[in-house]
Amino acid sequence: MKKIKIKPFFITCILFISFFSKAEPYIAPDSLALRANIQILTEQGILKTMTTTYPMMWPEVKRALDEVDETSLAGINLSAYLFIKNEYKNATKKRATLSVNGATKDNRFHSFGDNSRNKNTIQYSVSGVWDYVAVKFAPSVTTSNFDDDQYTFDESYLAFRAGNWNLSIGMQDKWWGGGWDSNLGLTNNARPMPAITLSRTQALPFNVPFTDYQLPWTVTTYMAQMEEERHVPNTLLWGFRATVMPFDNFEFSVSRLAQWAGDGRPSDFDTFVDLFLGRDNCGKSGFECGDEAQAVEPGNQQAGFDVRYSFNAFSKPITLYANHFGEDGGGDKFISRAVNQVGMDMSFNWFNQYQKVYIEYADTFKVCANTNGWQGPDRPGDCFYEHHIYQTGMRYKARNIGHLYDNDTTSIVAGIVNQDFNETVWTAKVRYLEINNDNSARYPDDPNKGHTLSKISEDVIMLSGDYQKRLAEFTYKIGASVSQSSFIDLPSETDYNLFFQIKRDL
């Protein structure tokens, strides 16, 4: 299978038209403040839009903003409304930025709102839009050799709009789910892959015939190419996510991820049809289990659903969210051998400032079938995000594309986002992690396969935080983290990281 030459195409187009454009249509998962302000209004039914799929579309948020009566707002709700409008104003003009970040170490975990994975990075970005074309060109250079890519074009894209649909070619971070720290299916932990993505621009409702009932819905799907330096080079990753809002403040989403094709693997249309229909498990899909079956097995799938529900209690907005995500097949179940995540967030208004606090729990340990299919004895652990054919698993550039902490991990994370609506935001987070808690690895001697964080059991307590301030055309951000790691047969370790970022609008 030949490697898809996506980068030269969209970079050439971006260089040609970016000088004539004037806006950016996407909301990336890189601003906790913007997300928090959007959720202030959605939690109270003021802003009627869905918030669990990133990139979000600015046209959809603008549609919801236009339905809000500004004169009816006061206090924190008015401040949030004006904050979002100001961010939209910035997005509706041609924008160029230069950002510089420095750190003592690479960022071990990359979560929502984090701006860099690698230490010591310089990035230039210019973005804009015509009536039917949107572009962003964001080259960067880093001194880190974490993923062997010194020069990158992460967050660059070329997008086209047709009716209520948006088609993009590029590398954009994605975040599927209600988690603040992580999700099970898809996060921005790993670098974005080159992909072709089709998304609905606005969540215009479906009108149920013969009733007054309207069902807002949105959908996104993409085909991405994974790196060449993996067990099956140039593997393709297909993703699909659909979200509905059956009633106010309740979102329900279904997601699928599927690895297929790649060098030496079947990649024809019939193979994708089998993958799409779920005919990819030996013993259940028309082919027998065993070594010969691997030659025709279509791919490796994961699927799941997540929910998010907001309500008021004691005059405070509260949101509950959950994610149920499983490996592919076995039996007649659409989702099997699943893992779970649950979380809650609350909003406060203390000292004339807005606070969003959250706590979430996840466990990615699972007993899975053996590596020859769904026949024979099960194996405990070392299986979620893994596959017997695509042995690098659901990972890209040495990071898991889903849960930040990979498989066989129990995580409890609590955090706070605080803002004073005066261009100042600070965040804090505490993590308790039992990483690789079965103290084993599927590929203990291969650093390019299996668990990306630790081949042995590691218990981590980490405290991290950052402070961000905007002054005129400059945005300053400083932060730090400290962690204590404990092992079974090794001495404990203490780790520190300090970082800063300066961004200037040009």
Q: Judging by beta carbons within 10 Å of its beta carbon (0-12, 13-18, 19+), is residue 318 exposed, middle or buried?
A: middle
For the cut 50, the answer to whether the pLDDT of residue 315 exceeds it is yes
Q: Quote the tokens at residue 458.
A: 């590691």
Structurally, the chain folds into a number of domains equal to 1
pLDDT at 15 over 60: no
Give percent of the chain above pLDDT 90: 68
From 19-28, 68-77, 82-91, 403-412, the region with the lowest mean pLDDT = 19-28
Contact 460, 487 (CB under 8 A): no
pLDDT exceeds cutoff 90 at 330: no
For the chain, the C-alpha Rg in angstroms (whole number) is 22
Q: What is the pLDDT of residue 296?
A: 73
Residue 8's pLDDT is 55
Please report the pLDDT score of residue 283 as a whole number.
Answer: 56
pLDDT of residue 146: 72
Local confidence band at 149 (pLDDT 50, 70, 90 cut-offs): confident
The band of 90, judged by pLDDT with boundaries at 50, 70 and 90, is: confident
Q: Is residue 257 part of a domain?
A: yes
pLDDT of residue 290: 58
- The answer, yes or no, to whether residue 176 has pLDDT greater than 60, is yes
- The CA-to-CA distance between both ends of the chain, in Å, stands at 42
What's the confidence (pLDDT) of residue 339? 95
pLDDT of residue 16: 47
CA 154/CA 295 separation, integer angstroms: 34
Please indicate, yes or no, if residue 286 is contained in any of the structural domains. Answer: yes
Pick from 151, 225, 190, 149: nearest CA to 452: 190
For residue 4, is pLDDT > 70? no
Give me the pLDDT at residue 29, please: 95
Average pLDDT over residues 422-449: 92
Domain assignment present for residue 429? The answer is: no
pLDDT for the residue 158 = 96
Average pLDDT over residues 14-18: 47
The span from the CA of 61 to the CA of 63, in Å, is 5
Instruction: Report the distance separating Cα 454 and Cα 444, nearest Å.
Output: 9
H helix or E strand, kind and range, residue 66 = helix 58-66
- Whether 409 shows a pLDDT value over 70: the answer reads yes
Give the percent of the chain with pLDDT over 70.
Answer: 89
pTM (global) more than 0.75: yes
Please report whether residue 495 resides in a domain: no
User: Which two three-digit tokens encode residue 131?
Assistant: 């009536």
Average pLDDT over residues 113-124: 91
Query: Any idea what the CATH number is for the domain that residue 219 is in?
Result: 2.40.160.130
State how beta strands 53-54 and 458-471 pair. Answer: unpaired
Is residue 484 one of the residues assigned to a domain?
no
Q: Let me know if residue 374 belongs to a domain.
A: yes
Query: So what's the pLDDT on residue 374?
Result: 44
Pick the more confident residue, 127 or 111.
111
What pLDDT digit, counting tens, does each position of 477-494 carry? 999 999 999 999 899 999
Is it the case that residue 336 has pLDDT exceeding 90?
no
Averaged pLDDT of the chain: 89
**pLDDT of 395:** 96
- Whether the per-residue pLDDT at 257 is higher than 70: the answer is yes
Predicted local distance difference test score (pLDDT) of residue 272: 93
Domain of residue 361, residue span = 6-408+436-456
Q: pLDDT at residue 60 above 70?
A: yes
Distance CA 317, CA 332 (A): 39
